[in-house]
Each structure stands twice: as structure tokens, then as C-alpha cells.
A and B are shown apart, each in its own frame.
Chain A
Amino acid sequence: MGLLLCALFSVSNNPTYADSASEGNPAASGVYGQTPDLGTVRSVSVGGQEIRALPMRVGNLDILSPITSSLAALGASASQVNPSNLPRGTSRSQQNEFFQLNIPGQRPLVLQIGKAVAYIDGKSKPLLAAPLLMKGQIWLPVFSIAPLLGASARIAPDGTLYINPTIQSVRVFKVKGTLTVTISTSAPIPDGKVLMGTTDNPPKIYFDFQGFSMGFDANGSTSQQTVSDGKDEIDQVRAGLFQSFPDTTRIVLDLNKPMQASVQPMPDKTLFAVLLVSPGTTAATVSNVDDAPTGSGSLNGMTIVVDAGHGGKDTGAPGQHSFEKDHALDISKRLKKYLQSMGAKVLMTRDDDTFISLEGRVSFANSHQANIFVSCHLNSYSNPQSSGTGTYYYTSQSKNLAYEVQRSLDAASGLPNRGVNQARFYVIRNTTMPSILTESCFISNPHEEALVMQPSYRDKLAKGIAQGIANYVKKYR
């Protein structure tokens, strides 16, 4: 009750909002740091869904509205704060003033009722107004929170406040003759909300993202990411707001020659991936009964490549009593079994003690157009005390997968958590699908080698990795 009164007090004592400058151009407001014109707002649309009769009020320089239940359309959710995310110095009695907004693949956004500050990873960011608690609902400062969720907030001439997810980046890369374009968004793309079109002269392929606003300068973003040989097929990539209120963002690929585009199903729905091939080319297919799903579940329809590190003449890191290659293969085989039982088709780069080049592993995964690639390794270091599990990713499309697998692997292993890192390991840098490399433990650590020599422990590790993949698919599919 005290908290509620405090919140109401802070609103009624801060009637500082007064800006009519944008009345003649109501659609112009919405950029973080500018004052929104509440006079024109009549309804709210979140992620393309109009919410009628949503209460709003002015709080300092922002619009407050109880939109926490609609955050899913922006790829976020609200929950009680995890105590480990609280800012330093927070007393136990203050904890119930905090809550957090969860954004997949990112550190949670921690907010405090009555305080115009957001905390991300312990660092504070000022808000235009404080979140409030009124009548049992959390009211969020819309224009402050939207950019922190990667969303845009703009007011249409008809008085609708549009809060939309945005296009975050466009990347073009070419591996072994396969040209892939990935477009990442700030929230999952609903089914049927991307339309593809082509023109022959000049050759172009475009994609309309309905309900998505612009979140970046696509040209600049793409030019940095395009590999040089991708320029043979693509002259440039453009992005623009094709239609406003409701928004549609169009991504255009200006081609140097006609190409066929095939949309690749992605487990992470914040990613839209397209393979570009010359007309008449067909994708390779495989069918092997050993790879087929053995059960049904959250991985139905997924093709996963499991890559057992090293093999043959490449022993991998030596322990005191064993080699990395043998544990990697055993964990990979167990991982395959678990993934198949959840409904996935699983292809292994090796299922015996064979040497395969890194290039061969990448080529295998890309040619089979897998949805996910996971490479299993054990770590090693000069100090035998170094310990723990870690997961690496390289491309931004792989980050969410890495976090989910590391969380689950960490829980399964019971070892120190070395976390998730971005690193340019060959197999995860050159594969076209979400790809990770796991280091389940340190074989150079005698205690951890003793653990991994136990079949039951290897089974635990495999189950942990499989569960992480399943969690990822469940969350982002």
C-alpha cells in the first residue's frame, strides 16, 4: 500500500509534461529522448495488435501504460526480479520494488517502481519517467522502454501509438558456394508476416516484414558484413519503411544476375534466412534411417548436425589417461540419441574414429541445410587447475542457442560456469545455420578427466546439451 501511494504521488507531483510543438506533425515524435505528444494518442498498437481502451497517463516526459501483458509481441516478458540481477546495495526490504523484463539472448532489464532508471548488467540507464504500480498493474514508460527492447514507438496521425518490433540487421555471407542472407529482428516473426517478391529486370528479390519498423541503417550494416565473393551475386542490400502506420519494412536485394531464393526454416523465429542459388540448382538431400527421429517432441521437423570434435590422427587434447577425441565421440553419440528421441533428424559428421578436416565438417553441415550445428569438445589448458564448462558462438544468429545450451550444460555438469563467449572457431564461423561449440569440461584437469571417463557423467553432459537445444527451439521456434 505504501508503495502504491508512493507511485501515485510521484505521478501527481510531476505534471512537467507540456509540449504542443509536435501538434502540427504528430507522427514525428517517438524518438527516444523527445517529448511525445499525448494529446494525439487515442489507442495503442503493440506488435500489430491494437489494444483498445488501454489506459494511459503522462509521467514526466513519457507516456505510461500497463503494457506488460502485451510484451510478448515485442519478444519480451515481465517477471519477478532474479536477486542476482539487482543493483548493488539493494536492501532486502527494497527487493519487492524491482521487477525485470526478459529479452531472449540479452541480459534482463531490471526496473524499479517509482524510479526513472533501468539497470542492465548492473549498469544504470536513465528513463524519461519511472515505472509505476497502480491498481495491481505495472505501468511502463513506453517511449523509454521501447528502445531498450529494440522496439520503436511512434504516434500516427490518427492518434494510434504504434509500438513495433524492428529489423535489427541484415547479413550476407557465402560459404562453399552457398549464399545466405539472414535478417534478424527484435521479436519473433509471426507466421505469414513476411512476403517475398521478385523482379526480373533489373533482377531483385525483396521481403516485406509486416508489422516491423526500421531499426537501423541496413546499407551500412550490410556492407560491413558482406564477404567479398558475395558481391558477385548481390550488388547491394537496401532497407526502408515501405508503409507507415501500420508499418511494413522492405528489405531489397539488388542482384547482379537472376537468383532463386529459398526460405530456410529457422528454429530462432527472430531470424529470417534465405538461401540464394542460381536458377535450376537444387539443394542436396539425405536420407538415412539411422538419422531419423526415434520419438516425437519439441524437436519435430528439425535437422541437427552433431559434430564430434577431432578423430583419427587428430587425438584432440590429451588427458592423463584418455584423449579428447574419444570422449567427444561418445558424448556426440549420446547427444544424437537424446535429440532423436525429441523428434529431430540427427546427422553426425563422424560416428567412428575417423579424421575429418574442419572444412569437411562445415561443408557437410551446409550442404545438408541443417537447422542447428553443435560441435562437441573438451577444453584444455596449461594449468591443470583450470576448470569448467563453456560454450562458444560466432554469428549473432547463434547467440541465443549458445546461451540456452550453456545454461543447461552448466546445470548438468555441476562444474564452474565459464559462460558464453564469441570466438572465431572455424566450424562455427563458416556454417550457415545457428552453430555452437561446447567445451564440456577440462580434460587437462585430473578431477574433470576422472569425471568424464565415467559413462554416466558423459550421459549427463549429452542430456544437458540436448535439453539446451530443446529449450532454444521451444523458446524461439
Chain B
Amino acid sequence: MTQDNQTNFRPLPVILMVLILAAVALGGWWLKTQQAESSATKIPITSSVPPVKTPDKNAHSLTLYIPNENAMLEKHPLKLEDGTSTHFADLSKLAFSTLMQKVPYNFPKGTKLLHVKTGDNGIAILDFNSNFNDASFWHGSSTTLMAVYSIVDTITTLPADDFKAQQVQFLIEGKPIAVLGELDMQDPLKPDMQWVQKN
């Protein structure tokens, strides 16, 4: 039986098969190399005018930045119902009232957003009631940072059709606020994504 097998063994087809397989493999490697080289030498073409980001009129959700148990922010989409106003002031009030519902303990009790205005240089002006300035609440850097940047990061990413906020100025009943806890609030705050939990 062993002898029969040895007699029937034909080396030529096997060698041919090996050669064909080797050629296919080499061809694949060569093609890959060419692609890599062509992409490496490709000159990136960029438009001379940077694209302008416009508000998405068809936006169906906004992003809430909600403090989690580890004192970091997490992104939560909030689906907008059909017919929801996408004016900046309306979206701001909707976003803040939802934050208050979801994590009321992250803001002083009785906090209300009274007015939302817009200013130059993409400044959104949020006017809160005096409860927001309750000194007994603003203890600990994590408490302060989570409350303030959940608002700032949410407001500056709203998909409004009339205004794109780039920074947020806080007022208490129409008056500027100097500090919240230890945080310097004298000038507008820009979004800060370092507080967003990384996965």
C-alpha cells in the first residue's frame, strides 16, 4: 500500500500548484506595496477656504453632557420631538431643564434658567435665578466642574438654527458673577472636553 502511494505520487502538479500559490501571494504583496506607496506619495488636496460649519436645520437630537458617578461627563443624546423649536434660546432651556430632571443633585436646589441671550463672538448669556448662587452648594472642585461644564459643553454643542454658541457667560438675575465655588467666572467659559469620560 505504501509502495503504491509512492509510485502514484506525481511531483509536477504539486510543484506547479505551489508556484501558482506563490505567484498569487507575491502579486497580492506587490499590489499592496503599490497601494501603500501611492497613498504615501499622494499630495493631500485641501480646499483653500475652510468649510463653514452651519447649524443642522434637520437636527433631530441634541447632546447632553451629564455628570456620572465618577465625576466625569457622559454624552447622552436627547431626541427632539417633531415640531420642537430649534431656536437657540428654546433649545438651551430644553437642554437645561432636562439636565435638571436627570441629575437635580448636581445643581443647587431650585435653580432656574431665567433668560437666554446671545452676544458677539459666539457668547451665549445664561441668566439664572439666585438659587444658582447658593454658596453652600459649591464645595469641591468636582462638584463645581461637573455642574458648570455640563452646562457649557451642552450649550456649545446645541444644533440651533439661529446661533452657534462658542462660549458661555453666566449671570445671576442679570448681574455678572465673579466666582462659583473656587471657579473664576468673570469672563465667558469655553467648552472643555477634558471632563468628558473617555471610553
Contact = CB atoms under 8 A, between A and B. Distances in A.
Interface string B8-49: 000000000000000000000000000000000000000000
11 contacts: A314-B135, A317-B139, A317-B143, A381-B143, A382-B67, A383-B69, A423-B183, A426-B183, A437-B141, A439-B140, A442-B142
B194 interface: yes
B146 to A, nearest CB: 7
Contacts of B71: 381, 383, 386
Interface string A247-289: 0000000000000000000000000000000000000000000
Contact of A317 (B70, B105, B140, B146): B140
Interface in A375-414: 377-383, 385-386, 390, 392
Given A426-B184, A430-B184, A381 B179 contact: no
B150 interface: no
Given A309-B182, A425-B141, A426-B182, 9 more contacts: A317-B143, A358-B179, A380-B143, A383-B71, A423-B183, A429-B184, A437-B141, A437-B182, A442-B142
Contact of A424 (B67, B70, B142, B183): B183
A437 B183 CA distance: 12
Nearest to B145: A423
B121 to A, nearest CB: 13
Contacts of B135: 314
Contacts of B140: 317, 324, 378-381, 439, 442-444
Interface size class of B (residues with CB under 8 A): 20 to 34
Contacts of A358: 179, 182
Interface string B120-155: 000000000000000100011111011000000000
Interface in A296-319: 309, 314, 316-318
Nearest to B179: A426
Contacts of A379: 140-142
Contacts of A427: 182
B156 interface: no
Nearest to A227: B187
B105 to A, nearest CB: 5
A382 B106 contact: yes
**Dominant SS among interface residues on chain A:** mixed
A424 B139 contact: no
B110 to A, nearest CB: 16
Nearest to A386: B71
B105 A382 contact: yes
Interface in B65-115: 67, 69-71, 105-106
A422 interface: yes
A316 B146 CA distance: 17
Contacts of B69: 383, 385-386
B111 to A, nearest CB: 14
B142 A381 contact: yes
B141 A377 contact: yes
A318 B179 contact: no
A377 B182 CA distance: 10
B197 to A, nearest CB: 12
Contact of A324 (B67, B70, B139, B145): B139
Contacts of A318: 139
Interface in A415-431: 421-427, 429-430
Nearest to B105: A382
Contacts of B70: 383, 386
A301 B141 CA distance: 32
A377 B145 CA distance: 15
A247 B14 CA distance: 69
B190 to A, nearest CB: 10
Per CB-CB distance, the 9 closest pairs between chain A and chain B, nearest first, are A380-B140, A317-B139, A381-B142, A426-B184, A425-B182, A383-B69, A424-B184, A382-B105, A317-B140
A377 B139 CA distance: 10
Contacts of A314: 135
B139 A421 contact: no
B141 A390 contact: yes
A430 B105 CA distance: 30
Contacts of B145: 423
B183 to A, nearest CB: 6
A386 B143 CA distance: 11
B194 A422 contact: yes
